[in-house]
Amino acid sequence: MKEIEIDKKSVPNHVAVIMDGNGRWAKQKGKNRLFGHRNGVKAVRETIEAAAEIGIKHITLYAFSTENWDRPKDEINGLMELLVFTIDKEIKTLMENDISLHAIGDLKSLPSNCYRELMRAIDKTSSNKRMKLILALSYSSKWEIMNALRVLAKDIEGKKISSADIDEELFNSYLTTAPYPNPELLIRTSGEHRISNFLLWQIAYAELYFTEKLWPDFRKEDFYEAIADYQKRERRFGKTSEQLTKVLQ
């Protein structure tokens, strides 16, 4: 295995992942799409472990999008069952590794057993401190922004806030991601170069990393490769390179 050098002192605080390619992985093997989803669980486990081991504090995994509700019924049901089963099975590991579970998205739209299991795991792991694992479930960025705007408009109507108060910080506080910092790095697997309605506001200045690997094949070293790649980049935030490297006199 080739050496991947990571500077543990400058790992991103928050990494977001679009876990894509389960269906194609299964198709390559002549199996149905659910077989792909089931085999994606190992990649989830490896990614969480890899992130915790190098001291990353937040990881958000895109597990199910608002648009994914338009998939065939059988696939949706299978995915929801897999979700309940996996959360139940992994609570123990989350406890042992001091990881707290969180969720963003239109959670009320999940089947009731799924919602209950999720809440139970969130509650049980809530005082864990090492890392926050945030699942994006029935999530889409446009849904989140519309939802934030609706609540914000109500608060103006109810005179809780005035329209003059609206700034980036206030708007941010209405998003489901309000408790978490913005991701510095977004990883997408499966060779697709798109965002698919994920964290549009929050990734305004994130570094994007795309890999051809299909999600079920994604392993710790793939995650570390993404981190190493991120660490080679110069994040300029609109400034010039010279401004960033200039030593103050």
The catalytic residue positions are 20, 68
CA–CA separation, 156 and 175 (whole Å): 16
Cα–Cα distance list, 21 to 84, 139, 155, 227 (Å): 21, 18, 41, 20
φ, ψ dihedrals at 87, nearest 5°: -60, -45
Binding part of the chain for Mg ion, among 18-26, 44-52, 66-74, 226-234 by CB under 5 A, reads 18-26
Partner interacting with residue 227 (select from ligand IPE, Mg ion, none; CB below 5-8 Å by kind): none
- Smallest distance from the beta carbon of 65 to Mg ion, in angstroms? 9
Q: Which of 181, 176, 19 is nearest to 106 (CA)?
A: 176
Closest CB 187 distance from ligand IPE, rounded Å: 11
Regarding 144 and contact with ligand IPE (CB under 6 A), the answer is no
Report the nearest approach of ligand IPE to the CB of residue 220 (Å). 19
> What is the signed CA dihedral for 124, 129, 131, 231, rounded to 10 degrees?
180
Q: Comparing C-alpha atoms, which of 231, 56, 207 is closest to residue 134?
A: 56
Q: Which of 12, 14, 15, 23 binds ligand IPE (CB under 6 A)?
A: 23
Residue 131 and residue 99 in contact, taking contact as beta carbons nearer than 8 Å: yes
42-61 residues near ligand IPE, rule: CB under 6 A: none
CB of 213 to ligand IPE, least distance (A): 12
- SS3 of 222-249: the string is HHHHHHHHHHCCCCCCCCCHHHHHCCCC
- Determine, following the binding rule CB under 6 A, whether residue 109 of this chain makes contact with ligand IPE: no
Contacted entry of ligand IPE, Mg ion, none for residue 209, CB cut-off 5 to 8 Å set by kind:
none
Site residues for ligand IPE, window 179-218 (CB under 6 A)? 190, 192, 194, 196, 215
Which CB, 35 or 64, lies closer to ligand IPE?
A: 64
Helix (H) or strand (E) holding 145: helix 141-157
Binding residue for Mg ion, selected from 19, 20, 37, 121, defined by CB under 5 A: 20
CA distances from 235 to 23, 211, 243 (A): 34, 20, 12
Q: Is 20 in the site for ligand IPE (CB under 6 A)?
A: yes
The Cα 63–Cα 136 span in angstroms is 6
By CB under 5 A, name the binding residues for Mg ion.
20
By CB under 6 A, name the binding residues for ligand IPE.
18-24, 33, 62-65, 67-68, 79, 190, 192, 194, 196, 215
